[in-house]
Every structure is written in C-alpha cells, then in structure tokens.
Structure 1
Amino acid sequence: MSPASHTPTGAHGNWLDYPDVRLVHTLAGAVIQLADLGTLSAFSLPYPAEAQRALDRTVLACLMRGVEEVPRSLPELLFWCHSRPLEDWPLDLPPDAFGPDDFLVDPEALVPTQLCHEWWIRGRDGGAAHFDREVVHTAMRLCRNASSPESYVAFRRLLVERPVLTGVERFETETDLYLAPVQELLDQCYAAVPVSYEYGGAYITCGRCLTLLTPLAGGGWWCERDRCRRRGAPPHGRTLYGAEAAGLLQLARPLRQFVTGPGRAEVELQARLTALGLQVQLWPGFDAYDLRISFPDGHVWAIDVKDWKHPGLLGRAAQPVRAEPPYDEACWVVPREQAEAHRDYLGTYRRNRLAVAGGLPLFTDDQLVTLAAARLGGARGPQLKDHSPRPQPPSKNGPDRA
C-alpha cells in the first residue's frame, strides 16, 4: 500500500478522506457477486457490471499513481485478490487499514474471505448487504408479535448451533412450537447447498464451527471461519452422504458470517462465565445485546460479542449498547484468537472508533473472564473501562500498518 498522499486531520480522520476506501468496497462487492454466480476461477466476457466497474476503477487508480503493472482483465484482477494482500496494492488507504494476510480471496480455497464479506457488508450496495440484519429484525418483530421471547432465543440458537440442516432436520423444525412464529422466515434463511462442497459423494461439516467444509483441489478441507482455521486443521464433524445429503440446506453466507460465527463465540463465553458461578442470559430483551451478566451483589454487565477480522471496520461500526434491559456497565468483546491475528487489534479499534460510540470499550474474551473473576474476588468500582492511552495521529514517517 503506497503512503497516503494526504493525512486526515486528527486521530479519528475520516476514512472516506482516503480516495480508495470506496474502491475496496466496490472490489469486495464484485468478488461476492462473482462468487454467487459460480467459481472465481473461470469467467468470460461480458463481465458482470459490478465486476467491470471494479476492474475499471482499479486500473484507473493504478494509472493515476503511475503504476505500470495493472490488472488488464477480470482474471488478472482476481489473481491480485488471492495473490496480493491488500496492503501491497497501489492504493491510497488509511495507514492501519490492512495487514500482510488480508486478502479478498482466500489463496487456498479461492473463495471470498471473511475480510471481503466485512468490507462488502459495510459498503453502500443496497439491501443485499444488510440481509443478516433484516432477517434478525424480522425475527424480533415476529416473536414480539407472538409475545414469545423464548421463540426468538430458539431461533437464534438454531442459527448458531445448526447452520446445516438435512431435509429430515428441516422437517423437524416445522414441528417445533417455539419456532412456529418464524417458520416462513426460515425458508429465507436456509438454501440448497452448492455442489462445490461435495467430494466423493459426501459433505463434511467442521467439528468446531459446524459449517460445511470446502474441499481443496490439492486435497484436504478448508473452513470458512478465520478464527477456526487459526486453531489448526478443521476437525471433521458430521459426514453427510446418500439420503442425508439429499435436500441438504445451509444458512445464507451473511447469516453464517454475522450470526453463526459470533454466536459460537457468545455461547462459548456464556459457558466460561457460567462456570465462574455467574448468571448469564443470552440475547435478553429480544437481542438488545448478546449477554447479560448478573453478579451476586446485583451488579449487571451488558456484553456484545463481535467476531470481526478487521478492527478498523469494527471501530467505525461501534455504537453504545442499548439501554434496556438495564445494566451498570457495558462493553464489546472480541475472541482472543481474532485479536491476536492482527497487530494491535484493540488499538486499531480505538483509533477508528467514532465519537458516537461514547468511548465504548473493547476487550478480548479472556480479558473479560479475568475481569469477571476479579470482581467476584472482591474488586469494586467500574471494571469495564477503556484504559487505553489517547489515540495518536498516524505517523508522518509513513503508514503504521496493522
């Protein structure tokens, strides 16, 4: 990534002051569109409109910076997406935007990365980019109308714990009384599984995150969750073939990305806090926030869990935790593995956190468990405080890559 031609004023300079931020949104949208149409390894003219726009704008950005090597075709642009980390693209981007392993297309599986989906979802590409939020809000409305918070919890648990359903399992959900208010919505959440997940007549789920594994051309299997891959080779969960594979369904990718993924982290964190002896409620008040933690003295924490790869985007999405059900302190939490994979994850979040967030602190899950144990051990006073130093403007000596 070339040094910025200018530096926004102040520690919280607007990302949109950098000319190529919108281009990254366009690139991410093009990659997602192409992946929805088929494999990313074979396309012919005419290119889809979004992909052609991404190619044209990338070439223009390169030419404006005097770069001789430019992608001359869509296959070359896609080659850049899986062979060059975004920090090495000749683009004018914020200094803490990307790191050395930030690709739009995974180099092994040749599918859009979690980072690509995060940039797409944070873009301004219309309703499709907000599908996950529309589904969740519709579920809230339906369950409120039915006066059944239990139905909403059952719906969220289904999306977290069963991102893959056989035909028989989908039929079983139709007889679940708790899921009755959201039955029609489930038809929009689950879709038929593409044959790209099949190998040797079988489909295999990940034993950790429960989503389907993607078979690799050179052998082996790939899990779409970044946090899962950092734990090592994905363990095999269920092997589905024959009658079980017929009519196989999986959640739409935005739901797997922004509901199932964080939901796994939420359930894991709930278990760890419950083991300390705390009362922990999942998704209280129709998902006002993720975890409501009650201490023996009546003190309450409100927690939202965010399993995002990109801390800068997370900072720019930060907003205060909703006030009801009431609580005494609140924060956001990110899985430790996610934070460790990005240099200065928490610092990058803070530097990009907007004023509207009101200083909302971010901790890793390990840090939160440590703070909870300390409070149970007698610590008093506010615990969920942002102890970080004041953010500093980007260095004038060049970009501080994160």
Structure 2
Amino acid sequence: MIPLRPAQRSDWLDYPDVQLVHTIAGAVIQVADLGNLASFKLPYPAEAQQALDRTVLACLLRGVEEIPRSLPDLLFWCHSRPLEDWPLELPPDAFGADEYLVDPDALVPTQLCHEWWIRAKDAGAAQFDRDVVYTAMRLCRQAASPESYTAFRRLLVDRPVLTSVEKFEVDTDLFLAPVLELVDQCYVAAPVSYQHQGVYITCGRCLTLLTPLADGGWWCERDRCRRRGTPPHGRVLTDADSGGLLQLQRPLRQFVASPGRAEVDLETRLNRLGLAVELWPGFDAYDLRVTFPDGRVWAVDVKDWKHPGLLGRSAKPVRPEPPYDESCWVVPQEQADAHHDYLGTYRRNRPAAAQGLPLLTDNRLVELAEARLNGTTGICLDSAHPWNGAPRA
C-alpha cells in the first residue's frame, strides 16, 4: 500500500495521524507490559481498544478496504508492516524505511515505538524516567552529595540487571544511601519471558537481558547492539545464581541506561586524548563537561535516539550552568549511519528555540576535540558559526 503524501505542512501536529501513532505506540507498550504480544485475552486494555478504534476510523475515512478488525490484527500490522506502508497522513520525517513498531523477530516493542510513546503528551507513564532522575537530583542536593548522584547514574548505566547478592551490595553502598528508596522503585523482577530453559543471559555489550527467540537464538532490545551483529553473551544466570533477578524498568533502560552507556563510552574516548571530563555536572545539568588545557569548556548532551525527527522535536538549549563556552547534542555514529540524512532530519525538525543547538556524531566530536588539541584554529562545535577565539564571558 502506498502511504499518503500530503503537501508539506508547517508542523508535525498539523498532520492528522501523528497523535494516532502516539496512541498506537502507547497501546503496544501497555500490552507488552501485561505479557506476551503474541498472546492476550479480552477485554483489551482501554488504551489498546482506543488505538484499535482510532486506526479503524482512520482507514474508513480514507476508503481503505483492508483494516485491522481486532487487536491481534493491529499488532500484526505493527510487526508485519513498516510505518511507511500504513495508510496514515504523517510527516515525511516521521519514519525511515522499514521501521516497525514491533520487532518482527522478537515480537517486542522497538526502540522507535518507545520514542513515539515517550513523545506522547498524554502518556503519563512516559514521565517516569524523568521523574526518577529529578527525584535523585533532589535527594542528593538535600544530602549535599553530588557524588551520590553520580554513583546513582553509574549504577543505572553499569548494572541494569541485579542478582540478590548484587542488590545487597547496592543496599550497603554508602554513596547510594540518599537514594536507596528510589533505587527500589527503579528495579523490578525480571519476567520469565527472558528465561530459556532456566537460564537468563545478559548482552555482553549493553548489559541488558537478552530475549530468547523461537529458533533458539537471542535478541537484544538495543538497536545499536543488533546492528553490530549477533549479541555476544555476557553473564549466564540460573535461578539459583540470580536469587530473584531484578532489571531496570523499561523507561529507565531506554532513556537513561542506554544513552548513559554512550555517555560513559564518550567520556573514555575523550579522557584518552588527555582531556578533563566531568560526567553529569551540576546534578546533571548536561551529560559531559569537557575542559581543554587552555580553559575552554564544551558542554555535551548525548542522545541515543533512533529517529532524528522525534529527536529534533525534543531539542532545547543546553542549560547554562555550570558555565561553558560552547554546547551541542551528540548522537552515536551508529544511529546516524542507520538513518538516511539523520543530521539533516534533526535540523529540519528542531524548534525555533533550539536553532543554535548543533547535533554532532560522537566520532565527529572526538575529531574536533583532537584537532583543537593539535592546535587547529577556528574549531567550533557549530560549523555554521565558527568560533572567533573570544573567551567565555
């Protein structure tokens, strides 16, 4: 089916089906949280029923003969039809080629689905990851302990899966004392759907639990991991080993731990150049504060998003404190390579208030840092506005 291509409109919300995709994504997440997407029973959850009703209505309004007649039909569309083949009026930058809301192999929500869900204005649960981070900031400020906040963020990045023994270690970590009650809300029991023949396996790259496939293979929920090939096996945990295995809640895995892994990797690369790098300065005002030998400072926020259009619509200036000379957002090179014109799509969807916020790949940022260290003049994060050498005010 050829998707509708209306004349270019001024804003995403001018397209009639943008909110519908938000609703469908929320329904997919809701059903997945209740159990296996391949099997469920009536009555359907309220949001799922609303998504089905609105999709049927959109099809009928457009004279489409083939419509989803049940929630199983709608979910079948989600893993058998890329968004470009849905009979919906969506912005040209709303999706890339062959992008699904449900992974065809693992039958779980894709990263794209999560990004549409998190951008939905009516999805209260989408605030969970931000509420957790803000609460951690508040508690650590009250304790006058920025070290505790850094320890909390590193915990979510480095330990998305905890055994009972590891949870005891966390509970007795003095740095984490101000946020221990919050930590308990961040982790939930690992579902049995991640288990195969009594065994859980973590990804050797991103450390999250792998999902067993029907053919005997294992699937990683992180798009960047899958693009690198078959996920390497990390820890192999039996019920006896795990003693009640815990994993980070889904929004925290998606929007805190995943970009956090990219942040830590970028910190390592910049440290190797001899640069001073502070992670999450000023209680996470931004992700990395990079200081050069001459005192010039770059502020960097890392965004590990699959879809550049949704990322662009989320763009906002980097907070001014702690002070810096230049700022940018950074996306992993692998994400940019996987989407045609990633940086251009970001720029086209960036709101007016963020027009001065450049987006670079992590490789490009490291190249610019290395060139500046080697004495190349005029190095600037925003190529459209070259730095003239003036010091920070």
Give the structure-1-normalised TM-score: 0.94
> How far, CA to CA, are the matches of 1:127 and 1:26 in structure 2?
12
Match of 1:3 in 2: 4
> How far, CA to CA, are the matches of 2:194 and 2:276 in structure 1?
40
1:332 pairs, out of 329, 335, 341, with 329
1:99 Cα deviation from its structure 2 partner: 1.5
State the one-letter code of the partner of 2:78.
C
SS in 2 for 1:224: coil
> Is 1:146 matched with 2:143?
yes
8 Å Cα contact 2:371-2:379 kept in structure 1: no
State the one-letter code of the partner of 2:195.
E
1:124 pairs, out of 121, 124, 134, with 121
8 Å Cα contact 1:307-1:338 kept in structure 2: yes
SS in 2 for 1:204: strand
1:67 Cα deviation from its structure 2 partner: 1.0
1:64-83 CA-to-partner distances (Å, cap 9, x unmatched) read 11111111111111000001
State the one-letter code of the partner of 2:222.
R
SS in 1 for 2:330: strand
> How far, CA to CA, are the matches of 1:16 and 1:378 in structure 2?
46
Match of 2:391 in 1: none
1:60 pairs, out of 51, 57, 60, with 57
8 Å Cα contact 1:359-1:386 kept in structure 2: no
> How far, CA to CA, are the matches of 1:106 and 1:387 in structure 2?
38
> Is 1:369 matched with 2:370?
no
> How far, CA to CA, are the matches of 2:206 and 2:150 in structure 1?
19
State the one-letter code of the partner of 2:82.
P
1:244 Cα deviation from its structure 2 partner: 1.8
> How far, CA to CA, are the matches of 1:96 and 1:335 in structure 2?
19
> How far, CA to CA, are the matches of 2:66 and 2:255 in structure 1?
36
1:328 Cα deviation from its structure 2 partner: 0.3
State the one-letter code of the partner of 2:5.
A
Higher mean C-alpha deviation, range 40-49 or range 24-33: 40-49
1:278 Cα deviation from its structure 2 partner: 0.6
> How far, CA to CA, are the matches of 2:176 and 2:376 in structure 1?
42
SS in 2 for 1:303: strand
SS in 1 for 2:322: coil
1:285-304 CA-to-partner distances (Å, cap 9, x unmatched) read 10110000000100000000
Higher mean C-alpha deviation, range 38-47 or range 69-78: 38-47
% identical aligned pairs = 75
> How far, CA to CA, are the matches of 2:41 and 2:196 in structure 1?
26
> Is 1:222 matched with 2:222?
no
1:382 Cα deviation from its structure 2 partner: 5.0
> How far, CA to CA, are the matches of 1:289 and 1:29 in structure 2?
28
Match of 1:14 in 2: 11
8 Å Cα contact 2:117-2:123 kept in structure 1: no
> How far, CA to CA, are the matches of 1:188 and 1:315 in structure 2?
30
1:232 Cα deviation from its structure 2 partner: 0.7
> Is 1:188 matched with 2:185?
yes
> How far, CA to CA, are the matches of 2:213 and 2:95 in structure 1?
26
1:100 Cα deviation from its structure 2 partner: 2.0
8 Å Cα contact 2:132-2:182 kept in structure 1: yes
> Is 1:209 matched with 2:213?
no
SS in 2 for 1:301: strand
State the one-letter code of the partner of 1:193.
A
State the one-letter code of the partner of 1:209.
C
1:148-183 CA-to-partner distances (Å, cap 9, x unmatched) read 000000000000000000011101111110000000
8 Å Cα contact 2:262-2:332 kept in structure 1: yes
State the one-letter code of the partner of 1:44.
K
2:289 pairs, out of 292, 298, 301, with 292
SS in 2 for 1:244: helix
Alignment of 1:248-287 (within 5 A): 248-287=245-284
> Is 1:108 matched with 2:105?
yes
Higher mean C-alpha deviation, range 327-336 or range 51-60: 51-60
State the one-letter code of the partner of 1:14.
D
8 Å Cα contact 1:202-1:245 kept in structure 2: no
Q: What are structure 2's unaligned runs of at least 5 residues?
A: 386-393
**Number of residues of Structure 1 aligned to a counterpart in Structure 2:** 384
The Cα RMSD (Å) is 1.2
> How far, CA to CA, are the matches of 1:48 and 1:174 in structure 2?
36
Give the structure-2-normalised TM-score: 0.96
Match of 1:46 in 2: 43
1:305 pairs, out of 297, 302, 305, with 302
8 Å Cα contact 2:162-2:246 kept in structure 1: yes
Match of 1:172 in 2: 169
Match of 1:314 in 2: 311
Q: What are structure 1's unaligned runs of at least 5 residues?
A: 389-402
Cα 1:230/1:387, change in 2 over 3 Å: farther
State the one-letter code of the partner of 2:223.
D
2:133 pairs, out of 117, 126, 136, with 136
> How far, CA to CA, are the matches of 1:164 and 1:178 in structure 2?
19
> How far, CA to CA, are the matches of 1:193 and 1:289 in structure 2?
31
8 Å Cα contact 2:368-2:379 kept in structure 1: no
State the one-letter code of the partner of 1:257.
Q
